[in-house]
Amino acid sequence: MDANVPRTTPRKSHTFDDYTLSEIRRAATTGIYDIRGAGAKRKLPTFDDLLFLGASISRYPLEGYREKCGTNVMLGSRFAKKPIEIKIPITIAGMSFGSLSAQAKEALGRGATIAGTSTTTGDGGMTVEERGHSHILVYQYLPSRYGMNPDDLRKADAIEVVVGQGAKPGGGGMLLGQKISDRVAQMRCLPKGIDQRSACRHPDWTGPDDLEIKIHELREITDWEKPIYVKVGGARPYYDTALAVKSGADVVVVDGMQGGTAATQEVFIEHVGQPTLACVRPAVQALQELGMHRKVQLIISGGIKSGADVAKALALGADAVSIGTAALVALGDNDLALEAEYQALGTTAGAYDDWHEGRDPAGITTQDPELARRLDPVLAGRRLSNYLKVMTLEAQTIARACGKSHVHNLEPEDLVALTVEAAAMAQVPLAGTNWIPGKNGNS
């Protein structure tokens, strides 16, 4: 062709973008779906699409740092003889020993304890380190029942029956052979080095009627002392919340699709479930219709990253939030200081999500003793507590600006949305209008 003839700029397909092409090549080479950790990475409507209005003539603010703005939360007051009180409206989500190192679990316990909140076990049982360093520990009751025993059940401060999680509603846990060390294998009663796939469904109950009986059994075993949470993935938040309440839950945890996981299929993370923002109002609506709002507490999780997110979730009606991925980042996950090591693993700081491979240079998502030793639980715990305190201060800053003496006094009327999608999901007006999609006589 004549070199003087103008040519169009080479154009890549929007459909077959670089990532898609790389995934096709990877699948063709390996014959296995892509597995990774963390939560949804696609662009989703989030709490960032909401704004607080702040004070005005009709609403006067509270003095920052001077006037009291409460942050404490009571959890489990519906049925439990011993409800728990956390000082801040942020808890640490369930993450297993196995997916995380013992040092990381200890750090989570230390950080949560300093900040006055709870941490949660995971799909692998309760470790001595975790119990010992967690003032308030929630013990997860999962389909696999790995490490489940009545002694640890009684040592727990609350029990969380896990029905699903946001990263994979309808899917079970996954822990690949690289991370099944002797200790993990012993705790889970499994052969060392196998690719362990947890059950997705509880082995001895199905449906809400059975769940009610299961919760009753757990209460009987623990003499009705422990608060019982029910955790669901953000699939059908209205119905799941209503059914959890019907089943006798003290607390409902709704985990949106940005919620992380130690490992599962990429296709599951990115294509199943609903954004966290879309889960809050249906869950709150279910509680309100049942007359149980603030009686059964609602914890929202999935991509919570700042005090602004905390304040927005509470304003929409949640009692508390839970963090997982953000807590790991606070410990040191994906730290820029480790960039050279991430590069050696074929990734970069901020994108590392091959948590299932057990080669985490930060010593967090690994069972390699050498790598795990890199994480100082005391220092990492302090970092987490700092982060939790900052988030709380941020939420208080917003609450005071809105004239609230407790973060629970934030309300949907304090919010507007930047996008039509966020307005519809959060059921607050689009900024500059009084229009709530689906409300105000509009459809």
Partner 1 sequence: MIEFDLDKDGVSALNQRLHSLPKDTNERSWRVKNPMGQHAIACGLTLPLIIEIEGHVGFYCGGMNKEADIIINGHAGPGVAENMMSGSVRVRGNASQSAGATGNGGLLVIEGDASSRCGISMKGIDIVVGGSVGHMSAFMAQRGNLVVCGDAGEALGDSIYEARLYVRGKVESLGADCIEKEMGDEHRKELGLLLERAAFKARPEDFRRYGSARKLYNFNVDHADQY
Chain positions contacting partner 1, by CB under 8 A: 30-32, 144-145, 148-150, 153, 177, 188-191, 193-195, 199, 203-205, 210, 213-214, 216-217, 220-224
Nearer to partner 1, 154 or 294 (CB): 154
Rounded least distance, CB 29 to partner 1, Å? 11
Positive/negative CA dihedral, 142, 148, 153, 157: negative
Rounded least distance, CB 100 to partner 1, Å? 22
Rounded least distance, CB 264 to partner 1, Å? 13
Nearer to partner 1, 182 or 210 (CB): 210
Nearer to partner 1, 203 or 346 (CB): 203
Nearer to partner 1, 61 or 193 (CB): 193
Rounded least distance, CB 161 to partner 1, Å? 13
Q: Which of 211, 225, 230, 234 lies closest to 292 in space, CA to CA?
A: 230
DSSP element (H, E) containing 305: none
Q: At what angle do helices 237-246 and 207-221 cross, to 10 degrees?
A: 50
| Distance of alpha carbon 314 from alpha carbon 299, whole angstroms | 9
Rounded least distance, CB 181 to partner 1, Å? 16
What pairing do the DSSP bridges indicate for beta strands 297-301 and 320-323? parallel
Nearer to partner 1, 21 or 27 (CB): 27
Long-range pairs, 141-148, Cβ under 8 A, ≥24: 141/218, 142/173, 142/198, 143/172, 143/198, 143/199, 143/200, 143/201, 143/202, 143/203, 144/172, 144/173, 144/188, 144/198, 144/199, 145/203, 146/96, 146/98, 146/187, 146/188, 146/189, 146/198, 147/187, 147/188
Nearer to partner 1, 163 or 380 (CB): 163
Nearer to partner 1, 17 or 223 (CB): 223
Are residues 405 and 68 in contact, defined by beta-carbon separation less than 8 angstroms?
Answer: yes
Tokens of 232: 């669901």
Rounded least distance, CB 260 to partner 1, Å? 22
Rounded least distance, CB 33 to partner 1, Å? 9
3-state DSSP assignment of residue 265: strand
DSSP element (H, E) containing 38: none
Q: What DSSP letter does each residue of 206-235 carry, written as one string? A: -HHHHHHHHHHHHHHHTTT-S-EEEEEESS
Rounded least distance, CB 97 to partner 1, Å? 17
Nearer to partner 1, 159 or 257 (CB): 159
